Amino acid sequence: MLLLLHCNIIFTMNNHSLTKFPRAMSRLKFYNNNRVVLAFWVLVTLVFVIDSWVSNRLNNYLIFENTIRNLIHERSLYAAYPAYHDDANHYGPVFSLIVAPFAMFPNWLGLLFWNLFNCFFLYKAIQTLPLSEEKKIIIGYIAIPCLIESMLNQQFNAGAGALIILSYTLLNRNKGIWSAMCVVLGTFVKLYGGVGLVFFFFAKNKPAYIGWLMMWSIVFFCMPMLFASPDFVAHSYIDWKDSLIIKNAGNIVGASTDISIMGFFRSLLNYRGIPNYVFISLGVILFMLPFSYLQLLNKRKFQLMILSSVLIFPILFSTGSEDCTYIISITAVGIWYVQEKNRKMKNVLLPILLFITCNFPLLLFPVYAKAHPLTLSILSFPYFIVWIRVLYLAVDKKYDYADDQELENLHMLRD
């Protein structure tokens, strides 16, 4: 019922011009408000923080907050510490500095501030998109199911998605130095951020942008050295690489943990032997194809489709993808949805995507779902369909770029 209500709000807001339909305006006056969206986001965050307190399920947060102590005492950032938590850290060394302020608090309070930080960070990043307020509100509602998964798992994925969005929107506002910072920080924390390098094509001053990328790379590489020796930090990057290689191999073997599009097709074909490079090679070709249309590079709607592609691509083609990771891609789905002209397509595809995103097999039949990986990896398939559609819209000559001036006016007013 909640899912139906959720979809009904989104469809009604998107399918009616509230200025032309007074009844729709009256009915949706409460929901058509960014503060209400933020209230929903905060409510979701608080509910699942309380759930973590009650169930004493703080494991992921404990992994994160332990990294700063390990850095200071020069203990491996990627070893297992069963006395403190299960599993191990897989984020870059600089991540320990991001989580450091939260580690100063008792764990229960640190978790609260950590989840609120990720919630607000992604919310504010969405507000920087060159879209109308009404469209940003719709994106906020679309993101709620994935926000639930993200807050439930206490991950940094919402923050990683925010960094990718800001990599584009800051560049869009001629703040290349800060855009480059977001690209590099996102890459040094979680490799997904590296896809933001393609925004280089949108930079007006490309030599300067390259210089800023190099500068921030040095800064973030060396920053952990404020708390530990250069030798330890340098070796930590090697340990990070090794931990990711081991994790990737484990994800491929453990079919139930690979819910990328690669895992979907491996499960569908019942053949785990298909190597990653086959999928990734095809994915990269498709990902880069729109950039051959040089005449579109300065079109705002083209850039928004590329941003959508950037937010989806690394999740689809990473064996480390989890259900909570799709908070990064759901924003891209929202951007696609509010820009899509084909009403039938989006009003069919979005409910299917949101329904599958809720991951009902795992919630209702966890034993069966884990024994049948296809029921889990199918989560990636509707995102894959949206991604293909986004790539098509980016280069479709029939796609309407006429209201780029409207977007430009919004951009100028906001600045």
Question: Which residue, among 370, 394, 345, has the nearest Cα to 198 in the 3D structure?
Answer: 394
pLDDT at 18 over 50: no
Assign 25 a pLDDT band (cuts: 50, 70, 90). very low
Calculate the alpha carbon distances from 14 to 46, 255, 341 in Å.
28, 38, 11
- % of residues, the chain, pLDDT over 90: 62
Reduce the DSSP state of residue 106 to 3 states and report it.
Answer: coil
Where do we find the tokens 């986001």? 41
pLDDT at 355 over 60: yes
Query: How does pLDDT run across 253-299, given as a tens digit for each residue?
Result: 654 567 889 888 988 888 878 888 899 999 999 999 999 998 888 89
Q: Give pLDDT, residue 315.
A: 93
Calculate the alpha carbon distances from 53 to 63, 86, 116, 154 in Å.
16, 17, 15, 12
Neighbours of 184 (CB within 10 A): 27
Please tell me the number of Cα atoms within 13 Å of 47 on its side-chain side: 11
Q: Give pLDDT, residue 246.
A: 85
Query: How does pLDDT run across 307-339, given as a tens digit for each residue?
Result: 999 999 999 998 778 888 999 999 999 999 999
Distance of CA 239 to the CA centre of its chain: 25
pLDDT at 147 over 50: yes
Cβ neighbours for 340, distance < 8 A, ≥ 6 positions apart? 346, 389, 393
Q: Give pLDDT, residue 200.
A: 93
Look at 286 and 15; give whichever has higher pLDDT: 286
pLDDT at 406 over 60: no
Q: Give pLDDT, residue 19.
A: 44
Q: Give pLDDT, residue 318.
A: 87
What would the two tokens of residue 245 be? Answer: 């290689």
Assign 33 a pLDDT band (cuts: 50, 70, 90). confident
Where do the domains of the chain lie?
Answer: 35-396+404-414
d(C-alpha 340, C-alpha 346), whole Å: 7
Is residue 377 within 8 Å of residue 264, measured between CB atoms? Answer: yes
Q: DSSP secondary-structure letter at 402?
A: T
Write out the DSSP string of 55-67.
HT--HHHHHHHHH
pLDDT at 13 over 90: no
Q: Give pLDDT, residue 8.
A: 55
Query: How does pLDDT run across 62-113, given as a tens digit for each residue?
Result: 999 999 999 999 999 999 999 898 889 999 999 999 999 999 999 999 999 9
- Mean pLDDT rounded to a whole number for the chain: 87
Q: Give pLDDT, residue 252.
A: 65
Q: Give pLDDT, residue 1.
A: 47
Cβ neighbours for 5, distance < 8 A, ≥ 6 positions apart? none
Is residue 85 within 8 Å of residue 62, measured between CB atoms? Answer: yes
Question: Which residue, among 354, 376, 350, has the nearest Cα to 365 in the 3D structure?
Answer: 376
Query: How does pLDDT run across 170-229, given as a tens digit for each residue?
Result: 999 999 999 999 999 999 999 889 999 999 999 999 999 999 999 999 999 999 999 999
Q: Give pLDDT, residue 275.
A: 84
Is residue 146 within 8 Å of residue 327, measured between CB atoms? Answer: yes
- % of residues, the chain, pLDDT over 70: 84
Q: Give pLDDT, residue 376.
A: 82
Of 51-55, 188-192, 356-360, 399-403, least confident by mean pLDDT is 399-403
Look at 131 and 398; give whichever has higher pLDDT: 131
Distance of CA 203 to the CA centre of its chain: 22
What would the two tokens of residue 195 be? Answer: 């896809």
Which stretch of DSSP H or E encloses residue 181?
Answer: helix 176-189
